[in-house]
Structure 1
Amino acid sequence: MKRTKQEWKEINDRIMYGLRPTQFPVAMKFIKTQEEFDAVPDICYCENKASVCKLISMAAYFQETFGLTRDHFSGPYCAINNGCMAIDQDYLDGSILYRKPPPWHHEQEDAKKHIAENVKLLPETPYEGIVCSSLSNCDIEEADVISLQLPTQAAFHLLAGYVENDYEKLYFPFSGESNCADTWMYTMKTGKPGVSLGCRGDRATGALQFGEVRVTMTIDALLKALDGMETVEKNGIGYPYNPVCLYKNQF
């Protein structure tokens, strides 16, 4: 469903007033053709090397729209992990996780197992790139994923809203480095909410702060969660949670 800037702004305000996050939420669009890039107005392309974590952070901070093409990723690991470059043997061998500094695994076999899990989330045909736009001033009409940077309490409240009706227990994978596999790539593949505790990459280049987590959702899932949040609050469970008492009548 296509949405106007005003409609995105209304969703943005529900998030900002309801959850009080430290950064504006960001719409993500995975681009398949150059024509799709050209259709996004007011896009600013990254001219230097960048990660998707950084792209999200820039969109949130500057409240603008940024595009990252295949040629400007910070490296092949980031590009392949985000579905924007063809898988090669070096990636499958887990080289960046095992041989190149800083190594995340002592044994290559563990690195290869790690990569094998990431591969399950990748598209059959690589994307041309990714566009990120702040919901406060969104230039993307149809978003694939919404990325949120939330304090842990806010993440709990949002997800509690998601399960308020049509209940299903949620499970979140932990694959290690990087955030992308457990959040936006997981959401793209499954349609389910993704949560990451915050990998080194997202904290180093994406400005994810101490005590915050990354949450990703489709727009339909996000709206379901926001509606559930409002129902929970009408029932008397306000946010943020008061550390002294649970309900007003306890004062």
Structure 2
Amino acid sequence: MVNTTETYDWQLIVNQLYTYLRLKTVPVGMKMFEKAEDMEAIPKIRRPQSVHTADQIVAQAARLGWTVGITEEDLVMPQCSAVLGLHPRDEQWLDGKEMAGIWFENQKDSAAHQSAMTVNPYGRHAAMAVSPLVSNRLSPPDICLIYATPGQMILLINGLQWKDYKKLEWGVVGESSCADSWGRALATGEPSLSIPCYAERRYGGVLDDEMLMALAPADLVKALEGVEKLSRNGLRYPIPQYGIQMDARSGLEASYGKRS
């Protein structure tokens, strides 16, 4: 979990995301709550009037700008709620029976998929809320969710690696890829990249060209500091096309100096 004593200027952070990366989708935060009543006390919180997937709830914040809160009862199936830590990874969930023959050839493969998913530990929380970062209603969120094109995303990653470099490694669980993004980020606190899955695109409104990064507020700030440094070096979004048949030397000289 994030340090709740930390304060962030969310308007500045979001302005920087739009300035440097030209995002099209609202940057949102996600926060877990030990008690449902604490979630329900958030100003202007919306509660679902029907059953949804977790993808739809996140999309209502990222696509509509809403602040929305849920408990397990608001979600359509344990697959969603287990990723958030609102349902146990019990024997029935792990057996993968519901996905066998649909996403995987047999139940053995389906069960292997269930075991491979990274999820928020069960038993710590009773509710979840999502909200646009600029609303500052989650004070602060546990994680930030950034939807971006591959071109935008690689610059965000480059920004994360500007200072205190480390190789970033992720996995692809396939369907239920929310486990690769918010599930992993909630469980580990590490920046977590995913290729949104079929369900996120069908139910969560994720566009064809979008990827998703889930990361702690401090890591988002670190990434933006790096992106700003890269911008000063002329490494900006949109990335200008140089030309696939041009002599590369004159283009590289802009960054690395004249080369023989």
TM-score, normalised to structure 2's length? 0.87
Match of 2:246 in 1: none
Aligned counterparts of 1:198 and 1:30: Cα–Cα separation in 2: 21
SS at 2:63 equivalent: helix
Match of 2:180 in 1: 182
Whether the 8 Å contact between 1:145 and 1:216 is mirrored in structure 2 is yes
The answer on 1:107 being equivalent to 2:106 is: yes
Q: Deviations over 1:70-108 (max 9, x none)?
A: 111021221122211133322111122215xxx111121
Change (3 A) 1:249 1:163: closer
Aligned counterparts of 1:93 and 1:80: Cα–Cα separation in 2: 14
1:156: how far off? 0.4
Identity over aligned pairs, percent:
26
Whether the 8 Å contact between 1:70 and 1:79 is mirrored in structure 2 is yes
Whether the 8 Å contact between 1:16 and 1:24 is mirrored in structure 2 is no
**Matched residue type, 1:204:** R
Whether the 8 Å contact between 1:24 and 1:60 is mirrored in structure 2 is yes
Match of 1:222 in 2: 220
Which consecutive unaligned segments of at least 5 residues does structure 1 have? none
1:127: how far off? 2.4
Match of 2:119 in 1: 121
Aligned counterparts of 1:110 and 1:133: Cα–Cα separation in 2: 36
**Matched residue type, 1:183:** S
1:238: how far off? 2.0
Aligned counterparts of 1:21 and 1:238: Cα–Cα separation in 2: 13
Change (3 A) 1:201 1:25: same
Whether the 8 Å contact between 1:86 and 1:126 is mirrored in structure 2 is no
Match of 1:91 in 2: 93
1:52: how far off? 1.7
Equivalent in 39, 50, 53 of residue 52 of structure 2: 50
C-alpha root-mean-square deviation of aligned residues, in Å?
A: 2.1
1:51: how far off? 1.6
Aligned counterparts of 2:69 and 2:252: Cα–Cα separation in 1: 46
Aligned counterparts of 1:249 and 1:126: Cα–Cα separation in 2: 52
Farther-moved stretch of structure 1 (184-193 vs 79-88):
79-88
Whether the 8 Å contact between 2:120 and 2:184 is mirrored in structure 1 is no
Whether the 8 Å contact between 2:30 and 2:143 is mirrored in structure 1 is yes
SS at 1:43 equivalent: coil
Match of 1:75 in 2: 77
The answer on 1:235 being equivalent to 2:233 is: yes
Match of 1:22 in 2: 24
Runs of 4 or more above 4 Å deviation: 245-250
Whether the 8 Å contact between 1:159 and 1:225 is mirrored in structure 2 is yes
Q: Deviations over 1:126-158 (max 9, x none)?
A: 521210001132311121110011011000000
Which consecutive unaligned segments of at least 5 residues does structure 2 have? 244-250, 256-260
1:192: how far off? 1.5
SS at 1:224 equivalent: helix
Change (3 A) 1:248 1:38: farther
Give the 5 Å matches for 1:131-146. 131-146=129-144
Aligned counterparts of 2:167 and 2:67: Cα–Cα separation in 1: 34
Whether the 8 Å contact between 1:237 and 1:247 is mirrored in structure 2 is no
Whether the 8 Å contact between 2:27 and 2:144 is mirrored in structure 1 is yes
Whether the 8 Å contact between 1:24 and 1:136 is mirrored in structure 2 is no
Query: Could you say which structure has the larger radius of gyration?
Result: 2
Aligned counterparts of 1:136 and 1:240: Cα–Cα separation in 2: 24
